[in-house]
Amino acid sequence: MSDPPTLALEPTHARDQGVYTCRVDYRISSSTTAHVNLTVVIPPGPPIVLWRGRAVVGAVGPLGEAERTELTCRSSGGRPSPVLTWYQKGRRLPLLSANSSLDPFTGTYTVDATLSIQAMRELLGVTLTCHAHTPTDHHAHASSGRKVQDTAVVQPRTASVTLNITLSPVEVRVVGGGAGVRAGTTLRLVCRAVGSHPPAHLTWWRAHARLPHVTHA
């Protein structure tokens, strides 16, 4: 037996959460008790990204240019309720909505954080990251309300997606034409499209007839 008597919970399980009582008995006086409320933190489950009701991995899209869409980050199984945050290049993004629900059977939470974005040219290939972390303001308290110890900080879990956006060319021009061409000479014309994603599909037409012999580079 340790001196003073010590209760060790190693490892700690979710079922260990609750109120613990220590009673001290004296030979010539009344017994005294002390209570402590132990909160067991369960790390948040790995976040997933939902787009149009389905889980996505790696990339979202293709999105049309200027199209507005919503991305939802979801984490399940944490206690207390995890906090979800969206980031772009280290910058925190505002949320469209955030919801949390408690599973009465497991005592854990499912949290959704929804982001609204508009697919703009400058967002092509940009990575958006969702962080799921446990709040750090939960502590174990004695019955008097005195703080006993801080809950261990749980490292955040993350999920990332990149934006795949379809972009029209910002410029299309023909290179190689001149003011006039002598009959019987060879003329090389180049049609060049700039700024599209994916690469633009180019075709040549004469009046209403498509020209079949075209070289693509």
- pTM (2 decimals)? 0.72
pLDDT digits (tens, 9 = 90+) for 21-55: 888 888 888 888 888 888 778 888 899 999 999 99
Distance of CA 43 to the CA centre of its chain: 16
State the chain's mean pLDDT as an integer: 83
Give the dihedral sign, CA 140/86/72/44: negative
Closest CA to 197 of 147, 105, 125: 125
- Please tell me the predicted confidence (pLDDT) of residue 140: 36
- Please tell me the predicted confidence (pLDDT) of residue 19: 87
pLDDT at 100 over 80: yes
- Please tell me the predicted confidence (pLDDT) of residue 212: 81
HEC profile of the chain: CCCCCCCCCCCCCHHHCEEEEEEECCCCCCCEEEEEEECCCECCCCCEEEECCEEECEEEEEEECCCEEEEEEEEEEEECCCEEEEEECCEECCCCEEEEEECCCCCCEEEEEEEEEECCHHHCCCEEEEEEECCCCCEEEECCCCEEEECCCCCCEEEEEEEEEEECCCEEEEECCCCCCCCCCCCCCEEEEECCECCCCCCCEECCEECCCCCCC
Note whether 75 and 157 are within 8 A (CB).
Answer: yes
pLDDT at 177 over 70: no
Mean pLDDT (whole number) for 14-27: 81
